[in-house]
Structures are given as C-alpha cells and as structure tokens.
Structure 1
Amino acid sequence: MTIHTPGRSDPVGAEATKAWPRVGLVGAGRIARTGHLPAYAAGGVPLVAVCSATRTSARDLATAWPGDRLRVHATAAELAADPDVDLIDITTPPTGRAELIASLLPYGKPLLVQKPLAYTLKEATAITNKASAAGVPIAVNQNLRWAPPQRVLNEWITAGDLGEIAHIAHVHHFGEDERTWYTDHSDYLFIDHGLHYLDLIRWHTGRDPIAVAARAIHLPGQSALCPLTYTIMLRFGGPPLVASLTLYDAARSAAAWASNWFVNGTEADAHVTYTTATLHTATGKTISRTPHGEWVPDGILAAYTAFADALAADRLPPHHAGDHLRTLAMAEAAATSARSDGTWIDVPPPDVPQRSEGDHQR
C-alpha cells in the first residue's frame, strides 16, 4: 500500500501514524459533513475523493473541503477503483451497508466503516467473515473510545490507578425526538446511538458481559418511532462487576444535554463528563483534567489514525470488525430484552475467529 505523509501532525495523540493512507469518502451526509470533514481537515489527513447517493451532495462536500480539490466519483465502485485511494471511509446509513461492503471487497482496500456494520448481528457477522476470507481489513468507527476525557480515563485504568473496577454507571441525557431515518428504526437506541456506550464499557474493562437486561419505553407524545429512553443492566462472569446504562433521549433543550460516567474501583473513583475527567483516590487526592478537544471531531480523527497505525504495523486495529461484533451482540441482546420487558438475555459469542493479538489494545 502506498501511504503519504500529511502536512500537519496529529493533534489527538503522539502515537498517531506519521504516514497516512489517502482516503476516499463514501457518503456525504450529516456525519461526513460535520464529523469527518473537520476531523480530517484538523489532522491534515489526505482526503482525495468522495462519492454519494447524489452527485450534488458529493460536489457540495467537495466544495466544503479546505484541502486540495477532491475528485468526485459517481459510484462507490468508481471511487474504489481510483488508484489514488488507499483506504475507503464508509459513512452511509446502516441499511444496505453490508451489501455496499461486499461490493467493495474485490478491490482489496481497507475499509473504515461507521457503526453498526449492519442492523443485525447475523448480517454483520456474515459480512465480517466475507471480509476476513477476502483479506480485507475492516475497522469500525467506535470513536467515543477516543473522546478526549475518555482517553484520560482509559489511561488511568490501564495504569492501574483505579485498581480493579467494581462498578460502572452511565447516565446520559440527549435530544433526538424527531422523525428521521435513524429514529424510524425500532432498535435505534440500542443498535445505533447506545452502541457507543455499550462499547465503551467493553473498552474500559476489557470484559464482555454474559447477559443483559433492559427496559425501554415510548414517551407520551413523542415524534420518533423508536423508544427514547432505556435502562440496561449488564451481568459479567469472573470478578464482581456491576454495570448499568441509562439514556434519556428527549431532553427539551440542548442546555439539558449531559453525559456522566461513574467508574469505581478498589483504589479510586472516577467521574467523566463531556469535557472533564476527575479521579478521587483512596488517600483523598483529587485529580481533574480537562483535555483539549471534543468527541467530534477528535474521536473520529483518532479512529482513523488508530486504523492507519495498525495497517502500517500489519496488525489488527483495536476497533476491528470482530471486536465490533461483540459490542453489537450486547446491543442486540439488550434490544431483545427490552421487547421482553426486561428478561435477562444471554449475550452470544460472535461466530467469528477468536480474538487475536492486539485485540482490546488501548
């Protein structure tokens, strides 16, 4: 693979690669415009081409790109065949995503894909196995792992500052009470939006739950077709660990949006918000850090650079497709539980090869 050195250093971490693959962007919707473009512009990532469902939206995105002129392609196949594209970044909606991935496998280029790979674990597993058989690396854009305060928390956990984690609680207030393609999906709160938070529990603990129980409801008068609030409980084997997640997705004002993570260990307690990570030690010491940057665009840039680093080193990225399937299995089990009014549902091990060296690598 030919890779090229960007003009600017990576602002989100010294571990980022110094020579990055040139990107072809498939999709020119909201996440591409408001997330990927500013992320790649800030990091000096060599974005070289774009395509979308309509040529107009692709041209509009190309016009908004502040770097060198983007080549606008009519189809994803045409973009994949472009010799200047080293890596394909897929930002299209989940419906039809597996079929799109399958159509791009013959080109042999690494794929960075928005989550989820598909709306069902069965479909996502099938396309992951097809990609593995074709030798095509896939990384899934689980970018909350690299939101600046979450990076700080992960550093503390990895260094052993919290000791053994015994409890995690996430309480999140957001606002998506609207009719859109994503809130029209009945399991959106689990399979799409909430997937970030389920994934983060796996990321921080390095553990997979064996069962989940969830409840979700439609709020009176809501516009969205999907439920807009859930509570999820996770059951783990091995050392004791209690974990729960609560999401209320109908806050009436952006001023009410809030994200609170409470992580309690045998040596210290941590509290993480959108902006700040705070550690309270057993000796009474408090350490508070407000790192530079935001979840978007910094997390999106870091998901790309982590993939580029892994490709350069010929190893699995931490957010490879097989790892993503284990998060998706949790989400699907939670959605199933919610439809059964909170029945405990076992989380099945994904039907893919066992985890390899580099998996869960922070």
Structure 2
Amino acid sequence: MLIDIIAGARPNFMKVAPIVENIKLARADNRNIDFRLIHTGQHYDKNMSDSFFEQLGIPQPDINLEGGGGTGTEQTAAIMLGYENLLGKKKPDICLVVGDVTSTMACAIVAQKSFVKVAHVEAGIRSGDWSMPEEINRLVTDSITNYFFTTSETANFNLTASGVSNERIFFVGNTMIDTLLKNQSRFMKPLIWDKAELREKEFFVLTLHRPGNVDGEEKLKALLDQIIGNSRGLPVIFPVHPRTAKILKAIGPKSDNLYYVEPLSYLEFNYLVQRAFAVVTDSGGITEETTVMGVPCITLRNSTERPETVTIGTNELIGTDPIAIKPNFEKLFSGSWKKGQIPELWDGMTGKRIVDILLTLGVE
C-alpha cells in the first residue's frame, strides 16, 4: 500500500513526522505500507528547511510541487496542477492530508477527482468563522474525505452532525503532541535567553500573525501597548512573522522589556514556551502545546477550532479588543489562572494509531 503524505506549511511537518516514523517502523516489520512525502511548496524557506527536517528527524521530501507564491487562489491552482501531474505518473492507494492549510484542500480535491481515497488528519475541527481561510479549507476537505482521523470528541461530534458515518471516523489523538513529547528533552536554548537574561517563569512569549491583529497599524500598536503596559516589567519575547515585521517598522513601538527576535526553530521556540510565565498568541497549534506543557495561554481571537484547549486545557479565548488584556494579565499575576488538564489520547501514540488503522484500510 502506498500513502501520499501531503505537507505544505511548517505546522504540517510537525504533524506528519510521527506518521512517517511509524510507517518506517511498520515497513521494518515487513508490513505492506510505503509512502511518498510530498512538499507542496506552499511555504518554503531554505533556512527553515535545512534545519527543520533535521531537527525533527523528517526525511527530505520525495517531491516538491513548488506551488508557493502569489495569492491563495494562485497557490491553490499551482498545487492542484502539480499534484495532478504527479498522479498522472503514479497513483497512491490513499492521499493523506493534515491540518487546514491550502495544500490540504487542494490535494484532497485532486485526489478525489483522480479516484484516490482521502484520509484527513485533524478532521472535524471547526471555528465557525468563515472569514478565516482555514475554516473554508476544513469544510471543503472534510466534505470529500473518506477517512477521518480526529483529535477530540468535539471533532467527532462535528463530523457526525454533518452526516459522516461513525465507521469512517477514527478518534486517534493529536500528532502535534507526538512531536512535542518526543522532542521535549531536546529543546534548545535560543540566543535570546542569555541576551535578555531570562529566568524561568519570569517572561512572556508573544506570537501574532493573523491579519485582523497585525495588518492594521493602530490595532497592532494598541495590542502591544496593552501587553507591555500590563506585563509588570517582565520581558516579552516576540518572534516576529515577516508580515508583522513590515508593520512594526512603520509604527516602531519600543520598550525596554519588549524583544523582537527572528522566527525561532521548533526546538528553540518550545524551549521558551515551556519556561514562560505565560504565552500570548493568536495561533491555534501553540494553544495545544501550552495545554500539554501546563503553561497559561491567552488567545487573541474571537473563535477557536480547538475548544478543548479552553474547556480542558490552559488556554483562554479573550477576543481581539486590546482592553481585554489588562484583566487577564491581572488574573495571571494573581496566581488564579486555571491549571488545566491534558485532553484524551494526547499521549504521544497518535502516529502509531493512525498507521495501524491505515494498515487495516489497506486490506479492504
């Protein structure tokens, strides 16, 4: 059985790493399974690629479709054309897509049109916010998926409510957490640790990248002013997304305790997160990692596709109004932030469960 594993953006590679590892283990055990790791090229950074694959033990992709650049529509078209050309040469038994990036939707569509079954890892998660491109990607992908691998009971419910039969839903857990737990002992101290003289549980980690938070100069400045003004002098480490860096140059907020740094490697970034007093973010995946590491997390969004990080974990969704920052920082400093628990099956074994199920599907 041949599995095409699709990855196009940095979070995708964290999600596929445990699946690749467990397919290799199954092959070593003479099981009938093989894979092609396909990089769509949606996001490509040579510096990231040179270190990222090595850090996480991911093999270099077998194929790069080079579908990056341009608008979301242009990316979708380039990825679809590239994958269609690949399937014209050789088809897999299953196309496995992960998460909710453009590559996921694009390759799922091409696979189905080429009569290749689709398996979706992280199926069924929903934010309910159609203004987010990721939500459209999720809805389209799940509408044409054959096999659904889910991270939570909430995702299971979303799928059954949309008419998916139970026998096609597999509650397996979270591959992002497999990668986190495997690499936790290998986290690397970044240069900013010594430069800023950081101390454990005495600094914030900040990440912002969503257009609603960073594309408007006034909004971004207001958020940063509130974060700095309520941080009680603790260092705020802000790895800056390229989109955000351009705006910061224009508005230039400065503070002795605000540190802009280049995007960090996976092992460096999570070294900081694990030791942070709290994380402030508008990301989704980071809220999963903070939940497992027991780190308080404040999410500057109005909705989340990962509600278990709020209902079970350490995350709180506070919206995007800068005024909401002060009371939540006060709650942090008062020591009354919730402790949180780890969601079911977020145990480091998800990749194995997925591969075991794929092997059973291969004999259908």
TM norm structure 1: 0.35
Which one has the bigger helix percentage?
A: 2
Q: Which has the higher contact order (CA 8 A, sep 6+)?
A: 1
Please state which structure has a larger fraction of its residues in strand: 1
Q: TM-score, normalised by structure 2?
A: 0.35
